Structures are given as C-alpha cells and as structure tokens.
Amino acid sequence: MRLIERVWYDDSAVAGGARTVLAPVEALYAFGVRMRNALYDAGRLAQHATAVPALSVGNLSVGGTGKTPVTAWLAQQVMTRGAHPAIVLRGYGNDEPLVHERLNPDVPVIVAADRLAGTVRASASGADVVLFDDAFQHRRASRVADVVVVSADQWPLSRRLLPAGPLREPLRALRRATLVLITRKAAPPEAARLVSAAIARVAPGVPLATAHLALDALHAATNAEAPRRISSLAGTRVLAVSAIGNPRAFAAQLAAGGANVRSVPLPDHHAYSRGDAVRLARAADGVDLVVCTLKDAVKLAHLWPRQAVPLWYVSQQLVVEHGAAAVDAALQTVLDARRTHT
C-alpha cells in the first residue's frame, strides 16, 4: 500500500514514470466510470428503493478522509432527533463494524455487500433510517441524501483516477452530492477554507461544510486505567501505530499535542497478527506510550503483550466549524423522508 501511495503522490521521476505506465489502465477505468454514471443519470440503470430512507456517506478518494467517524457522528445526530438509525456497510477489513459498534453501541451495524438487502435487515432490526458507510459510488441503492467527505489534510488531491491516482471518480462527480463535508485533522482552518473554495468552483451550488476531527481523549486499550486528556501527551515519548488511510495526519495530531512522536504506519485495514503485536511492542523500547487509533485498537488490543509498554488509543470529537445549517438541512431531508416513508 505504501508503494501505491508513493506512485500516487510522489513527485519523483520513478513515480511519474509509473503513473505514465498506468495511464492506459486509468483511461479504461475512467471510461467505465463515465459510462456507468451516464447510464444511471439517464435512467438506463435503475436505482432501487431501500426498505427505509437512506443517507449515504462516501468519498471520492481511497481512504483517509474521516468517513467512518463522520458516519458515526451523523448516526448520533439523527438519533438525538428521534430517529432509529442503523449503519449499513460492506465491512472491508472487519475493523469498521467494530469501530461503529464501539462508538454507537445502541445503533445496529449491518454488514452487507448488497446494500439493498442490508436495508431490509436494518428495517427488521427496528431501524427507520439507514446510513450507508462508503456508498457514494454504489448508485444501485437509492438514497435521499449524499454526504461526500473530502480531507483537507490530503489536499491538493491528485487528479488522477485509479490505478494511477487515488480518485474513484473525477472531482466533478461532487455535483451529485447533497453536501460536501470538508474534514481536517492536523491541517489548519485556512487549509479547509482553500479546499472549500476549490470545490465551490468545481461543483457550484452544492452546499459545503467544514468540520474538525480533533483528538478528544486517550483511552487505555488493554487495562481499566482512566482516560487521560490529550494535554497529558506533552513531553512524552510516543510510538504512533496506525493502519489507516492517512497515518501522517494522525502522527501530526499527536505531535501537536506536545508528544515526541515516532511513527509506525501500516497499510490501511491491516489485519494484525500476534507477531505484529510482539514486533510493535519491541519497537516501543524507550517510549512512554504506544498510541493507536480506535480503528487499530479494536484489532490490536487483545494481541498486545501484557508486559509491554501500555497501549492506548485516541478518540475523536467532530466539531462543525462552518456550514452547520447545510449539515442540518441534509439531516432534515432524511428525517422528513422517514416521516413520509411507507
């Protein structure tokens, strides 16, 4: 995965040459995407009604935008407004369902490659709305709103499509969105504003909002120790372990909290083994804490050696910084559909 990312993002001659070699495959992929979207737009490919109204949360690029915490937060928002949501997702890597169950224990999580069948199961579980985690490109299942997440930490995006770049669709696909939510982790607020302006030029008229995915607290992954404030990282030596789409942003967030960070990035959705846990524990020699994300903790904690440096994970807090009215409008669309759905 790291090799692929170097091909996508590096300015080196080798990476540029690799992108040139991949250009014919990219052209075929782009043609397929264009034709498929044209068939859906013309009604030649049908969108099928879901068992309950659906809100889709997705992205244009491969990984690292904060889509899972955004989906979890939106589920919390519709629940506080009286709905009974379920989350339907493909479950790639097996970590996302576990993360959703940890963040929203009262929200059913349905793993289903067939999103339509997933909504039937969600309805049977008592849900009256569903949130699709990662379904912007899954147009077969109809939805009443499409929230597309774009990361300011990864901007400017490579404009290349798969496999020569990280994009699943061109930026102009954002014109299909109900709302574009720009997230930032370590990126400053100004970066989010620049992304917002760029998207407004590509997809004029589409509502925009920005949100900060801030580190909220440190939680012990392997014992019952009480949570700590992020400020407790100041002056500590930390080994940052992350198998996520954007490990650099995670390490930068910890460093911004005052930690002296050494990072061990792993491929997104990495399936940890006991051997991995032992090797990471050995790599932690000389540090005060090993800190991972919740996405890592749900897979790594039960493997962590008892005598090793303590393993902690960070929780995130989503704070809408701009465009709260646009977020409320997207949520209200789902709630209104819930009231009229038969």
Give the whole-angstrom CA distance, residue 184 versus residue 199.
Answer: 15
- pLDDT per residue as tens digits for the range 88-147: 999 876 789 999 999 999 999 999 999 999 999 999 999 999 999 999 999 999 999 999
The reply to whether domains 54-207+323-340 and 214-316 share a CATH topology is: yes
Domain parsing of the chain, residue ranges: 54-207+323-340, 214-316
Query: Distances in Å between the alpha carbon of 55 and those of 77, 122, 170, 177, 313?
Result: 12, 13, 22, 11, 29
Closest CA to 147 of 213, 46, 83, 71: 71
Calpha distance 183→187 (Å, rounded): 9
Q: How many CA atoms lie within 13 A of 6 on its CB side?
A: 10
- For 64, the enclosing helix (H) or strand (E) is none
Which of these, 240, 220, 242, 216, lies nearest to 230 by C-alpha position?
Answer: 216
Cα separation, 245 vs 63, in Å, equals: 5
Check whether 332 has a pLDDT greater than 80. Answer: yes
- 309, 208 in Cβ contact below 8 A? no
Length of the chain: 342
Q: What is the per-residue burial (b if ≥16 Cβ within 10 Å, else e) of 37-56?
A: beeeeeeeeeeeebbbbbbb
Tell me the average pLDDT across 224-252: 94
Count CB atoms within 10 A of the CB of residue 212.
Answer: 18
Mean pLDDT of all residues in 141-154: 96
Tokens of 335: 């709630």
Max CA pair span of the chain:
61
**246 token code pair:** 């954007």
pLDDT in tens, 7-46: 998 889 999 999 999 999 999 999 999 999 999 999 999 9
Architecture label for domain 54-207+323-340:
3-Layer(aba) Sandwich (3.40)
Mean pLDDT across the chain, nearest whole number? Answer: 95
Percent of the residues in the chain that have a pLDDT greater than 70, as a whole number: 99
**pLDDT of amino acid 1:** 58
What is the pTM assigned to this prediction?
A: 0.94
Query: Does position 6 have pLDDT exceeding 90, yes or no?
Result: no
Question: What is the tens place of the pLDDT at every residue in 44-62?
Answer: 999 999 999 999 999 999 8
Within 10 Å of residue 119's Cβ, how many Cβ atoms? 28
Q: Are 329 and 81 in contact (CB under 8 A)?
A: no
Q: What is the dihedral of CA 228, 229, 234, 240, to 10 degrees?
A: 70
Question: Which CATH number does the domain 214-316 belong to among 1.10.15, 3.30.70, 3.40.50, 2.30.29?
Answer: 3.40.50
